[in-house]
Chain A
């Protein structure tokens, strides 16, 4: 079966982002960009499925400006077979990304679509679920384990109360949580090989999707700063401060 994996180009997770002084947007000048960590886990899971003989082909797709082909190549170096780039101008909202991915799903007919559960820039946690609704596929979000079994997939999910396991009819959507796997590092030979793997480019109109805007970012600002605290010398002093100064324990 074919597995489709969606990846997003985002700011590297080690970089601390700041709002621009004029509040118009975050400052992304000369900032290191990378594949979204949850998307990397999604790629790893798909590659493992192919290595285990469950998947026959792993296709990686990214939606965004030309530069996101770098992240597609990263995924190809991790073991995906071929890439699809849906080229858009600037940032695209999750609903539109989901519609574009639906277009790719219709073209490719994957049995399983794996995405990251959220991207670490917008922290929206929407795209996989939206794609599920648009494609009328069931979803296993926040997955920590998946097991394909015939025409179904069992997904164990990290939920507020603990763990939940559900059974989904294929084709299905899975969104990866942190503990689904630990992604490998790409080897140098695989990075070289990835450059020669096929990569098709589509526009939204090729997929019959109109790029619309539903939500406008008016401004950004830094969060309220915490006032600097103090270092206490002992547990005794700590307890005294909590009782008599902060008054949070009695």
Chain B
């Protein structure tokens, strides 16, 4: 048996989600190769080659893959997949975008968002916003799987020295093109990889008030997140949304500020190790999942917390 892991990267650095996917691949017990598809992404292949226990790194470095257009990358993966039994990708926006196309090209089902490997063909995955965990079995000989990063402790990113092999086949479907992107630039850790996350909700009242979270985030080395309500209201951009359809996080410490705790938000953070909730409404559902709840006006509590740290 052999497993292909699709690397998540931005053409210059390998993203931590890849290491969690490698860990899921290790649980399958097969030989593991990694595919790095991108444009001018040789540096990523070097980082992937350093992951412990990898057979080889396949590098498909071509302008057609630079922006991860699903039409092109899915053709490449489906082609490379011919030699593999399992194809695993992180459940990042790229993985979610591309892998179902791969599955359809291979005429197999996809198992989305696994959080545990029970056996070579049986997996656990959350459904209904995480209110239910389903155990599912695949009947397909070739398995296409996306992996929820919070379900697997990342594999070691160093100690390996796998060979890098170029994939020369170029798949350009010619039906889609990249136009532009707006990428949030931040010195803070990535939301899905941070060990501390502080999130604001509708209670923050406006985008300006999110600055009150920044001092605390700096002191704790935290990433800043938000509830859907705060994003919908235009306080902060979409890439900060934590929840069922936003980002799934499971840091050591999650601080929810002015967030009521809709099930869709809880779905994105309830696997955090320690949860703190600050809300002036003592009946807010967020307190039902919080380890430490503070019933207080956030405009009093945040400056106090900032000063106390």
Is A148 in the interface zone, CB < 8 Å from B? Answer: no
Q: Which residue of A121, A169, A221 contacts B133 across the interface (Cβ within 8 Å)? A: A221
Minimum CB–CB distance from A131 to chain B (whole Å) comes to 8
- A94-B109 in contact given A178-B232, A221-B133 (Cβ < 8 Å): yes
Q: Report the nearest A residue to B71, measured CB to CB.
A: A138
- A130-B253 in contact given A167-B177, A215-B111, A231-B287 (Cβ < 8 Å): no
A228, B288: Cα distance in complex, Å: 7
A11, B40: Cα distance in complex, Å: 45
- Cβ–Cβ contact A239 & B238, under 8 A: no
- Cβ–Cβ contact B183 & A133, under 8 A: no
Minimum CB–CB distance from A220 to chain B (whole Å) comes to 5
Q: Which residue of B112, B138, B176 contacts A126 across the interface (Cβ within 8 Å)? A: B112
Question: What sequence of 0s and 1s flags, for each residue 44-85 of chain B, a beta carbon within 8 Å of any chain A beta carbon?
Answer: 000000000000000000000001011100100000000000
Question: What sequence of 0s and 1s flags, for each residue 112-138 of chain B, a beta carbon within 8 Å of any chain A beta carbon?
Answer: 110000000010001111111111111
- A132-B128 in contact given A154-B179, A230-B293, A249-B220 (Cβ < 8 Å): no
- A229-B253 in contact given A17-B128, A18-B131, A215-B136 (Cβ < 8 Å): no
A226, B292: Cα distance in complex, Å: 12
Minimum CB–CB distance from B202 to chain A (whole Å) comes to 15
Query: Which of B21-29, B96-104, B157-165, B204-212 contacts its partner?
Result: B96-104
Q: Which residue of B100, B127, B182 contacts A133 across the interface (Cβ within 8 Å)? A: B100
Q: Report the nearest A residue to B237, measured CB to CB.
A: A162
Describe A's contact surface by its main secondary structure: mixed
| A153-183, CB < 8 A from B | 154, 157-169, 177-179
Chain B residues with CB under 8 Å of A13's CB are: 264
- Cβ–Cβ contact A242 & B10, under 8 A: no
How many residues of chain A get a CB closer than 8 Å to chain B's CBs? 81
Highest count of chain A CB atoms <10 Å: which of B112, B129, B245: B245
A122, B108: Cα distance in complex, Å: 17
- Cβ–Cβ contact B93 & A223, under 8 A: no
Question: What sequence of 0s and 1s flags, for each residue 80-99 of chain A, a beta carbon within 8 Å of any chain B beta carbon?
Answer: 00000000000001110010
- Cβ–Cβ contact B74 & A235, under 8 A: no
- Cβ–Cβ contact A162 & B100, under 8 A: no
A123, B111: Cα distance in complex, Å: 11
- A179-B232 in contact given A164-B181, A214-B109 (Cβ < 8 Å): yes
Q: Which residue of A134, A138, A234 contacts B175 across the interface (Cβ within 8 Å)? A: A138
Query: Which of A46-54, A63-71, A139-147 contacts its partner?
Result: A139-147
- A239-B133 in contact given A120-B128, A123-B126, A158-B238 (Cβ < 8 Å): no
A118, B179: Cα distance in complex, Å: 25
Chain B residues with CB under 8 Å of A17's CB are: 128, 131-132
Given contacts A129-B101, A231-B295, could you give 5 more A-B pairs where the C-beta distance is less than 8 Å?
Answer: A120-B129, A162-B237, A166-B176, A230-B292, A236-B308
Q: 23 interchain pairs (CB within 8 A)?
A: A16-B131, A95-B103, A118-B245, A129-B99, A130-B101, A138-B173, A138-B175, A144-B238, A158-B239, A160-B239, A161-B10, A165-B180, A166-B69, A167-B178, A168-B176, A213-B139, A216-B137, A223-B270, A231-B294, A238-B276, A246-B292, A248-B196, A249-B196
**Chain A: residues with CB nearer than 8 A to chain B?**
11, 13, 16-19, 26, 38, 93-95, 98, 117-118, 120-134, 136-139, 141-142, 144, 154, 157-169, 177-179, 213-223, 226-232, 234-236, 238-239, 241-242, 246, 248-249
